[in-house]
Chains A and B, each alone.
Chain A
Amino acid sequence: MTDANGAPAEAAPQIRMQVLAQYVRDMSFENMVAQKGLQGGDVQPDIQVQVSLDARKRSVEHQYEVITKFKVTSKNKSGSAETLFLLELDYGGIFHVENVPEDQLHPFLLIECPRLLFPFVRRIISDVTRDGGFPPLNVDTVDFLALYRMELARRAEAQKAAQPVQ
């Protein structure tokens, strides 16, 4: 972009971004197969992954905490659809973000940051499911950009729906 533009770097201040910390913030794994003594083995699991995101400003300037929330539900596909396991993971990171224009900060925090965190989440989910005695679950890559757009659309929709009432 800079090439095409040809403009020198100092025109727009350099965007600085740094991961200061990353961590499991909260985790819950409920292994119903083990708890209820269900027949494991050759069941067909139906896995659903729910993702939600959260970002908040910290008291220190330029610092933000971004949390990705994953909820993985595995159900028995055939028959009674009882839950096989339920995994919830809040994985967060503290980011130092500088010089991102105000209007771009929101998408930056909810697209770029989660993108950085995702590989770790993926590994944890894989490990935990394997440790629970299931085949390791490798979550498909999440397209955070698409996710963001969808959410924007959903909100606009919701706002439109809400308008006439007001």
Chain B
Amino acid sequence: MLGLGTLARKIFGTPNDRKVKSVRSLVARINDLEPEFQALSDEGIKQKTAEFQRRVQEGGESLDDLLPEAFANCREGARRALGLRAFDVQLMGGIFLHQGNIAEMKTGEGKTLVATFPAYLNALAGKGVHVVTVNDYLAKRDAEWMGKVYAQLGLATGVVYPFQSDEEKKAAYAADITYATNNELGFDYLRDNMKASKEEMRQRGHFFAIVDEVDSILIDEARTPLIISGPSQDRSDLYTKVDKLIPELLEEHYKLDEKTRNVTFTEEGNEFLEKRLLETGLLPEGQSLYDPESTTIVHHVNQGLRAHKLFNRDQQYIVRDDEIMLIDEFTGRMMRGRRLSDGLHQAIEAKEGVSIQPENVTLASVTFQNYFRLYEKLGGMTGTAATEAEEFMEIYGLGVVEVPTNRPVARADEHDAVYRTAREKHDGIVASIKDAHERGQPILVGTTSIDKSEALSDLLKTAGIPHNVLNARQHEQEAQIVADAGKLGAVTIATNMAGRGTDIQLGGNVEMKVMQALAADPAAHPDEVRARIEAEHAEEKERVKEAGGLFVLGTERHESRRIDNQLRGRSGRQGDPGRSAFFLSLEDDLMRIFGSDRLDKVLSTLGMKEGEAIVHPWVNKSLEKAQAKVEARNFDIRKQLLKFDDVMNDQRKAIFSQRLEIMETEDLSEIAQDMRYQVIDDLIDQHMPPRSYADQWDIEGMHRAVQDKLGLDAPLAKWAQEEGVDQDVVRERLCEASDRQMTEKAEAFGPETMRSIEKQILLQTIDAKWREHLLTLEHLRSVVGFRGYAQRDPLSEYKTEAFALFESMLNSLRQDVTQKLAQVRPLSEEEQQAMMRQFLDQQRAAAAAEAPVAPAPQPAAAAPQPTPELVGAEAGEPDPAAWGNVARNDPCPCGSGLKYKHCHGRLD
């Protein structure tokens, strides 16, 4: 155990001082309570949990009051379940998390265990705690591992991952503590808000979330919106056709800006394209690229260009199972199911010749920033947050507290070695790996992309150095590769995948070794095998330590310092020795794009020789400046995004809470009535302006509107002629009439059916309107930037317009709901059958759209007829496939509803 004196010395004088002081007394109290809890039986620990739950949920005790006891109980539970006794610093981390801070803890300090303390404490409130991890593997692993602790304590653990059934998800969310990835949480939130009834919703509120690798989720990923979308019309042929033209482009036809990741056509490029498009018939004769009709084709061409010039195979994406899978820039992992928007994904699909999936329209979206701000309380853990403390405070109101390490870090971070060319750098890397490998030091080589990792792997093969490669392609073997990475003399080349959460143990992973040994020799006694392997392992670990611990070798600097620190952090965990160094060259992307010219000059004045590296603090400084520049730019982008997204977020919250209310409310007739009255008011204001006389009223228009909107044939003309009839009287009479009408309807349907009809109509209309509104906002956002040219602030313009749009959406929502309710009536038998048929047709069409290859059974029209049919003497080739002769104008047998000549019979 670490003395508090050491702790205090380490953090003395830092801004954490005050916080840590208050926490110290708490830790002391927990320590004092320890013997009491150690004396409890297993059953006693569970009973303690039940007692705490009672005290919080019924006794009204605050969680803060319970903290010392609960933490002590949790510590004891973890000790019994896992054999791990939490250090005082881990308790501290737990307290900071509970207080809603970000706890910055170095790698290997046991963040996973730290999370159990606040999770346990907050779960006592019975509202559910979410522990958020960056990937499904970690979610499952942690849930399984820490689930033992919670089980020991008498709480249920759930884990949420993609492709679970609704019941499984619901059960997982209903558990006291739920492990999940940020993606899955966000998507479930969106899916929940598209559900038709409260029973179907999976999540049960947002009480407290502990976010692991919080910087990754709330900063790196903050720019990524989560989008649920549905397919729209198919234009896949156009993508393919356009795609064929792109390779014809010469370098002078486009301008590539790597800094902003943008590519545009030059004047020559436009001319050339126009010519080629006309030749291939993609552009109709006499139409130019600049005509408004050409917007679609221009869009396709631009996306095609971006797909070819900005997206490289095995760098930004890989091709797998006839699909384009994007690679996460930060984690190096495949992002299954994530697609680029605006047709860019389709353009890449066309480029790689895989099947083109239909373009999607947004049905619901939320950014991580906004999702996590839904929680009442948020806590986060990471190894690297300090550099972004300002951003966490500004956006999420989260403080960053540095939790001291249990043992001091013994890793040596060397200065960067800068080479002139990439080739020299690679030679230097290989030499350095060779040297360390021969000494038996395990090496982790960090690369920035899959193809770079593979290129380096080839170099090592040539040099005859055995090694493993860890990238998205090998992600199934990830656990094995990581387990082996700490072995004596192991060389592991990894992408950013080996950044966060990867625990490389010196000498290898004991559990893994035991499992392997047992698998190889099932007859052996497990305990004997374990004893033997543990002895071997201890020896190997010592030798690795003597060789200098894990050597982390970075081959390139990332845009963000945090990612580099993550990589460094793989080494020197828990006080182990270690070494880290970055090998760079002037040809690296970061140096090329963001590096200052001064660096070039410095290097040339120093007179670099072939194959020689320069190692100098100045170079480091210059690089850090470049990285800081990029980080600042990204922060600005995120801030801007947030400001814009805030507008949508407020509206989303309003709509979603409205939706929830509707789902929860049994009887919506009052809401419907309010809406109806509002519509009547609007109509009267519109057609019978206040303070106007009866002869000024637009009786005819009003009559039409009332009929249309309310489904009432009101004798307005007669009313207007009556003595003493003003707007109020008309309003009253209309309200009365419409109430009567609705009551009649309710009777005809039966009250229960009527309630469910009201609910359905309300929800459907809200969803449809909201979807439309999202699209409108998207469009607004894409054009509002131009307001800047008119000396207006785009953001405030966006705000005002978005608000106006929202109001008009609510207006039309009221009208639509009222109108639909007014028109709804019980169906006759015949109509019901017709509806059923239509529904079936739609289903069939939908099914056909999903699987267009499978020919559906032929419709009745093609059935054999009693009258003869002659096939002519001059008959040509028979029609393809089993459909026989289908007339060009007939509906296509595939059931798409299109004419055969516009569907499967299309001539191309």
Q: Taking beta carbons and an 8 Å cutoff, which residues of A are in contact with B?
A: 26-28, 30, 32, 36-37, 48-56, 69, 71, 73, 83, 86, 88, 90, 106, 110, 142-143, 146-148, 150-151, 154
A151 and B868 contacting across the interface, CB-CB below 8 Å: yes
A50-B876, A52-B869 given; name 14 further pairs at CB < 8 Å.
A27-B889, A28-B889, A32-B907, A48-B877, A49-B872, A50-B874, A51-B872, A52-B870, A52-B871, A56-B867, A73-B876, A88-B888, A142-B873, A150-B873
Q: Which residues of B contact A36 (CB under 8 A)?
A: 281
Q: Which of A54, A146, A148 has the most CB of B within 10 A?
A: A54
Asked if B865 is at the interface (CB within 8 A of a chain A CB), the reply is yes
Asked if B14 is at the interface (CB within 8 A of a chain A CB), the reply is no
B870 and A148 contacting across the interface, CB-CB below 8 Å: yes
Q: Which residues of B contact A49 (CB under 8 A)?
A: 872, 874, 876
Asked if B722 is at the interface (CB within 8 A of a chain A CB), the reply is no
Asked if B863 is at the interface (CB within 8 A of a chain A CB), the reply is no
Q: Which residues of A contact B865 (CB under 8 A)?
A: 54, 56
A86 and B888 contacting across the interface, CB-CB below 8 Å: yes
A101 to B875, CA, bound (A): 31
B873 and A53 contacting across the interface, CB-CB below 8 Å: no
Asked if B887 is at the interface (CB within 8 A of a chain A CB), the reply is yes
B868 and A110 contacting across the interface, CB-CB below 8 Å: yes
A32 to B281, CA, bound (A): 12
Which of A26, A53, A86, A143 is the one whose CB lies under 8 Å from B870? A53
Q: Which residues of A contact B869 (CB under 8 A)?
A: 52-54
| B908 nearest in chain A by CB position | A36
4 interchain residue pairs of minimum CB distance = A51-B872, A48-B876, A37-B281, A28-B888
Given known A-B contacts A26-B887, A88-B887, A147 and B901 have beta carbons under 8 A apart: no
A26 to B873, CA, bound (A): 22
A52 and B285 contacting across the interface, CB-CB below 8 Å: no
A154 to B868, CA, bound (A): 12
Q: Which residues of A contact B874 (CB under 8 A)?
A: 48-51, 142
Describe B's contact surface by its main secondary structure: loop
Asked if B696 is at the interface (CB within 8 A of a chain A CB), the reply is no
Q: Which residues of A contact B871 (CB under 8 A)?
A: 50, 52, 151, 154
B873 and A28 contacting across the interface, CB-CB below 8 Å: no
A147 and B907 contacting across the interface, CB-CB below 8 Å: no
Q: Which residues of A contact B692 (CB under 8 A)?
A: none
A24 to B872, CA, bound (A): 19
A36 to B877, CA, bound (A): 23
Q: Which residues of A contact B605 (CB under 8 A)?
A: none
| B906 nearest in chain A by CB position | A30
B872 and A52 contacting across the interface, CB-CB below 8 Å: yes
Q: Which residues of A contact B870 (CB under 8 A)?
A: 51-53, 110, 147-148, 150-151
Q: Which residues of B contact A110 (CB under 8 A)?
A: 868, 870
A52 to B873, CA, bound (A): 9
A106 and B872 contacting across the interface, CB-CB below 8 Å: no
Which of B281, B872, B885 is the one whose CB lies under 8 Å from A142? B872
A151 to B867, CA, bound (A): 13
Q: Which residues of B contact A71 (CB under 8 A)?
A: 876
Given known A-B contacts A30-B907, A48-B876, A55 and B887 have beta carbons under 8 A apart: no
A151 to B873, CA, bound (A): 9
A88 to B889, CA, bound (A): 9
Distance of A19 from chain B, by nearest CB (Å) = 19
| A53 nearest in chain B by CB position | B870
Given known A-B contacts A30-B901, A36-B281, A56-B867, A147 and B887 have beta carbons under 8 A apart: no
A142 to B874, CA, bound (A): 9
Which of B285, B885, B901 is the one whose CB lies under 8 Å from A28? B901
B603-619 vs A: 1/0 string, CB under 8 Å? 00000000000000000
B846-883 vs A: 1/0 string, CB under 8 Å? 00000000000000000001011111111111000000
Q: Which residues of B contact A54 (CB under 8 A)?
A: 865, 867, 869
Q: Which residues of A contact B281 (CB under 8 A)?
A: 36-37
Q: Which residues of B contact A146 (CB under 8 A)?
A: 873
Q: Which of B284, B285, B869 has the most CB of A within 10 A?
A: B869
Distance of B906 from chain A, by nearest CB (Å) = 9
A43 to B108, CA, bound (A): 77
Distance of A139 from chain B, by nearest CB (Å) = 9
9 contacts between A and B (CB under 8 A): A30-B888, A49-B876, A51-B874, A55-B868, A88-B889, A90-B887, A142-B874, A143-B873, A147-B872
Q: Which residues of A contact B889 (CB under 8 A)?
A: 26-28, 88
| B283 nearest in chain A by CB position | A37
A30 to B285, CA, bound (A): 19
A109 to B888, CA, bound (A): 25
Q: Which residues of A contact B876 (CB under 8 A)?
A: 48-50, 71, 73
| B877 nearest in chain A by CB position | A48
A27 to B855, CA, bound (A): 25
A48 to B870, CA, bound (A): 16
B867 and A86 contacting across the interface, CB-CB below 8 Å: no
Distance of B485 from chain A, by nearest CB (Å) = 58
A106 and B868 contacting across the interface, CB-CB below 8 Å: yes
Q: Which residues of B contact A88 (CB under 8 A)?
A: 887-889
